[in-house]
Amino acid sequence: MANEQNAPDTAQFYLISPPEFELSQFPDQLAKVLDSEEISCVRLAMASHDEDRISRAADALRDVCQSRDVALVIDSHIQLVERLGLDGVHLLDSARTVRHARKELGADAIVGAFCGASNHEGMSAGEHGADYVSFGPCGQTPLGDGSRAEADLFQWWSEMIEVPVVAEGALSQEIVATLAPFVDFFGVGNEIWSKDAPLEALRTLIATSRA
């Protein structure tokens, strides 16, 4: 997830798994996408708290990702990263556990932090050792408290902060076109997996980001 500088010429794409998926189907679906487009990272973001289920999913996706030299991180579960041979963790509590995660996982692990729409939390996460910060949701969604990460947040971040930034949550073609000059990565999940043809949906967003 390293980037040479902020405000890159071309935003990269970072895939977020569906909250629920069939192990008999999704790894093959993911493999098809990774074989077709350049993806910077995959995030296992399951709704389940069942450790066995999460571990089996991680094993399946790790094989797909490692064979294609794509990093795999997991939501929240710091204690599972080393046990499952993953590349890092994506924290959902802003900056609060970044320092702990870095201490537990070491300098080489990827540590990312979701910071809602708060540039203050984002700066704190970066200061505590996050490799990247994500803001969102960027579009309208019934989830959360209704707040959105607006374009001016990403523009300010790209001009002022060197830590790479991810835009995620309810992304549309219009939002991707607006944010493309200011973000390092787009975190894409249900925007493609909910479609009948995920790869085509992803290609549409990639083309929009480069238009």
Give the mean pLDDT of 26-41: 98
Residue type, 81: V
Residue range 59-85, pLDDT digits in tens: 999 999 999 999 999 999 999 999 999
Report the alpha-carbon distance of residue 116 to residue 25 in Å, rounded: 31
**12-210: which CATH topology?**
TIM Barrel (3.20.20)
Residue range 144-199, pLDDT digits in tens: 777 899 999 999 999 999 999 999 999 999 999 999 999 999 999 999 999 999 99
Q: What is the pLDDT of residue 4?
A: 40
**Confidence class of residue 1 from pLDDT cuts 50, 70 and 90?**
low
Residue 105, classified by CB atoms within 10 Å of its CB into exposed (0-12), middle (13-18) or buried (19+), is buried
Q: What is the pLDDT of residue 141?
A: 85
Instruction: Judge contact between 157 and 189, C-beta under 8 A.
Output: no
Report the alpha-carbon distance of residue 115 to residue 122 in Å, rounded: 6
Strands 41-44 and 110-114 turn out to be unpaired
Q: At what angle do helices 26-36 and 198-210 cross, to 10 degrees?
A: 30
Sign of CA dihedral 134, 122, 83, 71: positive
Strands 185-188 and 110-114 turn out to be unpaired
* 31: its two tokens: 């493999």
Please list, in sequence order, all residues whose beta carbon lies within 8 angstroms of the beta carbon of residue 113, skipping any fewer than 6 positions away: 90, 91, 93, 94, 95, 98, 121, 122, 125, 130, 132, 133, 134
Q: What is the pLDDT of residue 5?
A: 41
Residue range 100-146, pLDDT digits in tens: 999 999 999 999 999 999 999 999 999 999 999 999 999 988 777 77
Q: Which residue in 174, 161, 143, 178 sits closest to 45, CA to CA?
A: 143
Position 2 pLDDT exceeds 70 = no
Residue type, 178: T
Report the alpha-carbon distance of residue 150 to residue 36 in Å, rounded: 31
Neighbours of 195 (CB within 10 A): 13
